Structure 1
Amino acid sequence: MARLLLFNKPFGVLSQFTDRNAPAGRATLSDFIAVPGVYPAGRLDRDSEGLLLLTDDGRLQARIAEPRFKLPKTYLVQVEGDPQDAALEPLRKGVRLKDGMTLPAGVARIDPPDLWPRDPPIRVRKSVPDSWLRITIREGRNRQVRRMTAAVGLPTLRLVRWSVGDWTLAGIMPGAFAQIAA
């Protein structure tokens, strides 16, 4: 039976087990996970937090990571600004980025979620409000959510991937993982 790890990747951690080409001292998955034979199914940027799935099953890894399967990924996103519903409409229809149009995203304003503090904290500007969005996408372009929010004038301050498909981060603290049978 395949193993699946649900890892809550902290801010600043690379989504790989080694960092051969970078300066020493950057955190990697090997600093948190000592389970042999598992590999990330997809990526999560170093400056993003949240759910990263790892598995020892190549077919499951492909099903999770391959864009053609369009597995929904939901993010809790703190943005700069106070968007009204009309400002979010372009995200719901698809946004033109340098690499083409995105698929429509599910977008909703939400109350600030009950999350762990980020280390280091986000920058706060007294003169600029911020707000939280829940964004669900079905593709996985490089830094896609950040580029989408920037394209509509809402720079991302904090990005937490909350779920991939039916798997969620619920109950998993930063730096910890839950192992389940897949």
Structure 2
Amino acid sequence: MSRLILFNKPYGVLCQFRRTDERPTLADFFDDPTIHPCGRLDYDSEGLLLLTDDGKLNARITEPRYKLAKTYWAQVDHLISESALQQLRRGVVLNDGLTAPADAQRLDEPTLWPRTPPIRYRAHIPTSWLSLCIREGRNRQVRRMTAAVGFPTLRLVRVQIGDWSVDGLGVGEWREIRV
């Protein structure tokens, strides 16, 4: 039986165990040398990160051929338009090619933990939230997609990978399950 750890990665933590500078890493939360992250979550993104001690399970979660769904909640500059949502649903041309279509929906502002530091606040520029489900894992893909349709991401939280969710985990908390 394999170990799978569901971790609610805080903003500003590097998805690696090796320390290269003063920034926090996974080593600040885990001291088990047998576990490895299943993919990455950017330094400036938050939410669900999976870790495992099983290389085959890691590959099953991360390899693009398995097309495991990853759901993100993105807070973007301005009120996102239906036209932009349609573009995301069709796929967006990025500098590394056309993305696969995403499931993109407007989202009421979710109840989340506070981010430290908070996003910038501008009284005269509204923000909006969207749920974006993708089955690829390109570098900074969600941020690049929202920017390409004219709505830069301010805060990005991964809430689900496949059937696994960040529900019930506070920021920096983790839960281990057996698979």
In structure 2, the residue matched to 1:157 is 154
Q: Structure 1 residue 132 and structure 2 residue 121: aligned?
A: no
- Residues 44-89 of structure 1: per-residue CA shift (max 9 Å, x gap): 0000000000000000000111111110000010000102322211
**Aligned counterparts of 2:64 and 2:12: Cα–Cα separation in 1:** 25
**Aligned counterparts of 2:65 and 2:76: Cα–Cα separation in 1:** 28
In structure 2, the residue matched to 1:181 is 178
In structure 1, the residue matched to 2:101 is 104
Q: TM-score, normalised by structure 1?
A: 0.96
Structure 2 counterparts to residues 71-82 of structure 1, below 5 A: 71-82=68-79
**What stretches of structure 2 of length at least 5 have no aligned partner?**
none
In structure 1, the residue matched to 2:37 is 40
Residue type at the aligned position of 2:48: L
Q: Structure 1 residue 10 and structure 2 residue 17: aligned?
A: no
Aligned pair count reads 179
Moved over 2 A (4+): none
RMSD: 0.8
2:48 counterpart SS class: strand
In structure 2, the residue matched to 1:147 is 144
Residue type at the aligned position of 1:151: A
1:30 counterpart SS class: helix
Q: Structure 1 residue 50 and structure 2 residue 47: aligned?
A: yes
**Aligned counterparts of 1:161 and 1:18: Cα–Cα separation in 2:** 23
- Residues 90-127 of structure 1: per-residue CA shift (max 9 Å, x gap): 00000000000000000000110000000000011112
**Aligned counterparts of 2:107 and 2:99: Cα–Cα separation in 1:** 22
In structure 2, the residue matched to 1:30 is 27
Using the aligned pairs only, state the percent identity: 60
**Aligned counterparts of 2:38 and 2:138: Cα–Cα separation in 1:** 14
After superposing the two structures, state which structure 1 stretch, 154-163 or 11-20, moved more: 11-20
**TM-superposed deviation, 1:131:** 0.3
